Structure 1
Amino acid sequence: MSRLRLPLYLKILLWFGVNLLVLAFLVFGFLSMQFRMSLDWMLSGEAGERVSAIGDSLTDELSQLPEQQWPEVLQRHGAQYNVTFALFSSNGTQIMGTQVQVPPEVLPKLIDKRGPNDRPPPRRPPPGVARKRPSDAPPKPRFMLRAGDPAHYWAGVHLDLTQQSDHRPLTLLMVSNTITGGGLFFDLWPWLGLAAAALLLSALVWMPFVRGITGFIGRLNHAAGRIAQGNFGERVSRSRNDELGELSSSVNAMAAQLGEYVAEQRRITADVAHELCSPIARMQMALGVVEQRSTPEQAGYLKKLDAELQHMAKLVEEVLAFSKAETLPERETAEDINLHDLIVAVIAREAPEADIQLAVSTDLQLHSLRDALDRAIGNVLRNAARYAADSGPIQIHAGQQDGKTIIRISDQGPGVPSETLPRLFEPFYRPEAARRRSTGGSGLGLAITKRCIEACGGTVTAKLREPTGLEILISIPAA
């Protein structure tokens, strides 16, 4: 089961979101503890103003109505917020509204402890005119707490109701199952809007920072991939003065050292192969002289020695070809090539007796390095003929697609283990099935093919066929 892959910037933003959630839970836990202790602080802001406004509105409305209509008024106001409204006398006795079972913690709050001198002078507004509290008037006593089992939220405000000449101190009690009280006690939407705005603003603030890191890491990853493919001239610009900038310097230094090491290794390999040519040639000449003077009993041994020398000479020749393939663009000039004629010539040279199905237009032209392309196709065709000629026809298809010339050489042989596909084009690498002396080969054929195709500005890949077989795909720019 494959793991879900998430981009780094998304992981950072998700982690930032988790951090915000942890903070939100901590704040929620703190507020919950405060709610259990006391909620009077909630009435110091807009919630308190709303409760006082409800008290003033009810005071004005009830003072102009007979008591028989008070329950209807209380029910109407309560339905507006889905909150239970009830009126209590100054000694804590319920006199109006839906009957409620008041917890012991709430009872002391219902008693109006103000004396006559603490209450504002009674003022009765004209009929139909709402009473306005003077701006310098002190707020009416209010309270709010959480109590009961199950717990409810209880809020109250002391009223000064004047009806005709009768002044009645009452307490308006509001009971809700939730802390919001339908928006009367606590309006949740502004807080949600503030949280969303804070989250959005935080994301906008973090986004440039996160994109800067992930963008630089992406460029660094691309450069490392190019270096891993052998492009040791690839460099990462050091545009940061932090650890990532130091990492880019280390990658650049590593690429430079690897390039020098590989170049030195190739030079030594080419020099050694070149130096081996002369002694091998002299040994072959000496062996020819010995064969002329040998006895019949020695002929078998000399034949084996000659085969070994020929194998060694072939290996040295391939090593030299591999070393020279890197400088092909400097030694050859691109020319117009008829691909059909080129492949026909390669077939006649490399696999004249093989069963080959050729599907290449006689008009297909491309502009590339002739010798490099000839060598690359020849190596692939020779491998196919060597390992899969007895398993069925070898198929060669070519055509143009998206501005590129695509050449497919496929066989129906045993193929290679799937895990060896990424290494087929490495120098001196051979799958286990190809390491027998009877099949020959040095493990340089496909490596030379890769260098030749890259010299032509193209790419070469390999994939397994179903049910069996191997396909080599060569892609070269058409123009």
Structure 2
Amino acid sequence: MNVLRCNLYVKITLWMLLNLVLLAVLGCGFSLYLMAGRGQDGILPASLFSTRADSALRVISANLQYHSVLEWEELLEPHARRLPVHVHLQSLDTESIRDTAIPERMVEQAKKLPRAIYSFCPSPEVMFWDPMGSTMFAGKNSNVEYGLPPVPPALFRHTDSPSRYWLGRVMYIPDGNRQIHTVLVVLESDTVDGHGLFFDFDALCLLVLAILGVSFLWWLPFVRHLSRPLRRMAEYAEEVEFDKFSCVDRPFLSDRDFSGARKDEIGRVGYALVSMTQRMNRMLTGQRQFIRYVAHELNTPLAKAQMGLGVLECKLSGDERVRVQQVLRHIKRLSVLTEEVLSYLQAKAAMNTPKDVVVDLCSFLSSTVQGEAPEDDVHVEVEPGLSLVTDRDYLQRMVSNVLRNAQHYAGDCGPIVIRAEKKDAEIVISVMDSGPGVPEEDLPSLCEPFFRGRAAVTHPGGTGLGLSIVKYCIEACGGRMEYENRRPRGFAVRLWFPVKKKGHGLWEDGAEM
């Protein structure tokens, strides 16, 4: 239990050591099996080789037994022709059969192998002659058990000049006189796999895959132990919106990965991430309240200053009147700034829940243009009878901000077109200008509060809050905003609203019945 609470470095180190121990145990076990206590210098367990080689050797042995030794080479020839390798025989107990092609070292190793003590399952009436004087071939009344001899180890060697590979097995073959001969049967090939006869590479591949699978299953729980909380932290960080903090109160934040119950580095990072997000939320909430208070308090003296300067302007003339007009323009600009800050904070805080009312778009857009740009070249294009069910104040704020942006950045470059139309199940209001557009690198950040990009140099005086206000207002109304550069010139902002019903007195497009 204390190991589970230790830091991540110790966990990884211990798990790595355990994995090495596992690999060492598997390697040692395989090596012990390979060596079988004496498996060196070419002596290997027969089970490492293909069953095809074992079957070929047994067939050769079965076809030679009970025949004269002088006939063995002739009997061997048709079987050898069917195999992709050469076959050699060497007697280990007499000089009756000898093949000089077999490596001498292999013959010496074969002679040192222990001999079997079982017969070939003969009939109980058959008596075998044992020239060595052992009990191996005793009669039926002896206590010797009859049966197949145990499988001896295989001999495998490689020789040079020319390159050859040799696979040999010791076989016990009775001749026509019932005399048992200990024979070394050798298969010779010019390839290491004996043209597919020596080794079963499919089994080898399965063995490798099994080892990799065991290693994968061994590491999988620990990798998941590390990756799962890290992935969740990444998802949490990606979903957090600093303007809404939508993830701060998510239910999963109370689990051990984020609550501080997990004591390793991952648990500490998760807890620190949540704590930091909560602190930033409290800090930004306080800042918004302060900015809202300051902006609200500034509106009153600014309004009084505008009123007093307006009265003073009427009484002055000449240079004094011009100076007062300049001051009025600066105060108006400051009033617009405070109004935009208040609109932005209000939209973010959702101070007012949108109220759905029927808005006739033709009259609404025309009156908005008259109020915001009475002297500019603005064209309004609306489908006849098109109405929208949404909050009128929010819609006024959206269209006004987009129109002011178009005036500020492209008002002298050509007409501004405001178009309202229905597309499928949505109503779209487009505001398109003919200005230079927005630099491509600035497009992804246009909705960030106070972001102005290159426009801060080319068009000073903005706040960078216009599209931020539009974004929050249209999301509050259940719609979406799109913007893009037009070709060959211009910039377009499109406000998409879902078609809604208002009680039972409207069609789906919002028109009155």
TM-score between the two structures when normalised by the length of structure 1: 0.74
Q: Is the 1:51–1:157 Cα contact (8 Å) retained in structure 2?
A: no
**2:159 equivalent to 1:143:** no
**Greater Cα offset, 398-407 or 448-457:** 398-407
How many angstroms does 1:372 deviate by?
0.5
Shift in alpha-carbon separation, 1:47–1:351, aligned structure 2, 3 A: same
How many angstroms does 1:79 deviate by?
5.7
Q: Is the 1:146–1:154 Cα contact (8 Å) retained in structure 2?
A: no
Map 1:246-285 → 2, pairs under 5 A: 246-285=268-307
**2:453 equivalent to 1:450:** no
Alignment counterpart, residue 421 of structure 1, candidates 430, 443, 448: 443
**2:489 equivalent to 1:473:** no
- Which residue of the partner structure matches residue 146 of structure 2? 134
User: 1 CA distance for matches of 2:61 and 2:107?
Assistant: 22
User: 1 CA distance for matches of 2:438 and 2:247?
Assistant: 32
- Which residue of the partner structure matches residue 132 of structure 2? 116
Q: Which amino acid aligns with 1:256?
A: Q
Alignment counterpart, residue 164 of structure 1, candidates 177, 187, 208: 177
CA RMSD of aligned residues (A): 4.4
Q: Is the 2:154–2:167 Cα contact (8 Å) retained in structure 1?
A: no
Gaps of 5+ in 1: 1-15, 124-132
- Which residue of the partner structure matches residue 126 of structure 1? none
Shift in alpha-carbon separation, 1:310–1:110, aligned structure 2, 3 A: closer
**2:462 equivalent to 1:462:** no
How many angstroms does 1:87 deviate by?
1.3
User: 2 CA distance for matches of 1:208 and 1:400?
Assistant: 54
1:270-300 deviation line (CA, Å, top 9, x unaligned): 1112222233334334445654665745334
User: 1 CA distance for matches of 2:96 and 2:357?
Assistant: 106
- Which residue of the partner structure matches residue 84 of structure 2? 82
Map 1:225-304 → 2, pairs under 5 A: 225-228=238-241, 230-235=243-248, 236=250, 237-238=252-253, 239-241=255-257, 242=262, 243-288=265-310, 291=313, 296-304=318-326
Q: Which amino acid aligns with 2:475?
A: E
Secondary structure of 2:45's match? Answer: helix
Shift in alpha-carbon separation, 1:51–1:320, aligned structure 2, 3 A: closer
User: 2 CA distance for matches of 1:295 and 1:347?
Assistant: 32
- Which residue of the partner structure matches residue 10 of structure 1? none
User: 2 CA distance for matches of 1:162 and 1:177?
Assistant: 31
User: 2 CA distance for matches of 1:167 and 1:332?
Assistant: 105
Q: Which amino acid aligns with 1:187?
A: D
Alignment counterpart, residue 317 of structure 1, candidates 339, 342, 345: 339
1:158-205 deviation line (CA, Å, top 9, x unaligned): 444312366654321122345544665443333433444555576677
Secondary structure of 1:330's match? Answer: coil
Shift in alpha-carbon separation, 1:338–1:64, aligned structure 2, 3 A: farther
1:38-85 deviation line (CA, Å, top 9, x unaligned): 342322x47498767655543331235567864565355446653321
Q: Is the 2:398–2:469 Cα contact (8 Å) retained in structure 1?
A: yes
**2:329 equivalent to 1:307:** yes
**2:39 equivalent to 1:41:** no
**2:61 equivalent to 1:59:** yes
How many angstroms does 1:371 deviate by?
1.0
Secondary structure of 1:116's match? Answer: coil
Map 1:308-347 → 2, pairs under 5 A: 308-328=330-350, 330=352, 332-347=354-369
Q: Is the 1:233–1:255 Cα contact (8 Å) retained in structure 2?
A: no
Q: Which amino acid aligns with 1:223?
A: Y
Secondary structure of 1:85's match? Answer: strand
Q: Which amino acid aligns with 2:489?
A: T
State the percentage of identical aligned residues: 30
Q: Is the 1:159–1:172 Cα contact (8 Å) retained in structure 2?
A: no
User: 1 CA distance for matches of 2:426 and 2:218?
Assistant: 45
Shift in alpha-carbon separation, 1:350–1:39, aligned structure 2, 3 A: farther
User: 1 CA distance for matches of 2:59 and 2:454?
Assistant: 94
Q: Which amino acid aligns with 1:173?
A: V
How many angstroms does 1:447 deviate by?
2.4
User: 1 CA distance for matches of 2:134 and 2:316?
Assistant: 139
- Which residue of the partner structure matches residue 187 of structure 2? 174
How many angstroms does 1:376 deviate by?
0.5
Q: Which amino acid aligns with 1:310?
A: K
How many angstroms does 1:413 deviate by?
1.5
- Which residue of the partner structure matches residue 203 of structure 2? 190
Secondary structure of 1:387's match? Answer: helix
User: 2 CA distance for matches of 1:469 and 1:432?
Assistant: 16
Shift in alpha-carbon separation, 1:184–1:366, aligned structure 2, 3 A: same
Secondary structure of 1:414's match? Answer: coil
Q: Which amino acid aligns with 1:121?
A: F
Map 1:405-416 → 2, pairs under 5 A: 405-416=427-438
Q: Is the 2:484–2:491 Cα contact (8 Å) retained in structure 1?
A: yes
Q: Is the 1:338–1:362 Cα contact (8 Å) retained in structure 2?
A: no
Q: Is the 1:110–1:171 Cα contact (8 Å) retained in structure 2?
A: yes
**Greater Cα offset, 336-345 or 71-80:** 71-80
User: 1 CA distance for matches of 2:484 and 2:434?
Assistant: 12
**Greater Cα offset, 226-235 or 447-456:** 226-235
Secondary structure of 1:333's match? Answer: coil
How many angstroms does 1:88 deviate by?
2.1
State the number of aligned residues: 443
Q: Which amino acid aligns with 2:132?
A: P
Secondary structure of 2:333's match? Answer: helix
Shift in alpha-carbon separation, 1:305–1:345, aligned structure 2, 3 A: closer
1:113-164 deviation line (CA, Å, top 9, x unaligned): 97824694399xxxxxxxxx93374555753334435252432324443123
User: 2 CA distance for matches of 1:363 and 1:208?
Assistant: 64
- Which residue of the partner structure matches residue 13 of structure 1? none
Q: Which amino acid aligns with 1:442?
A: T
Gaps of 5+ in 2: 1-15, 116-130, 140-144, 501-513
Q: Is the 2:419–2:430 Cα contact (8 Å) retained in structure 1?
A: yes
Shift in alpha-carbon separation, 1:46–1:202, aligned structure 2, 3 A: closer
| Bigger helix share | 1
**Greater Cα offset, 149-158 or 70-79:** 70-79
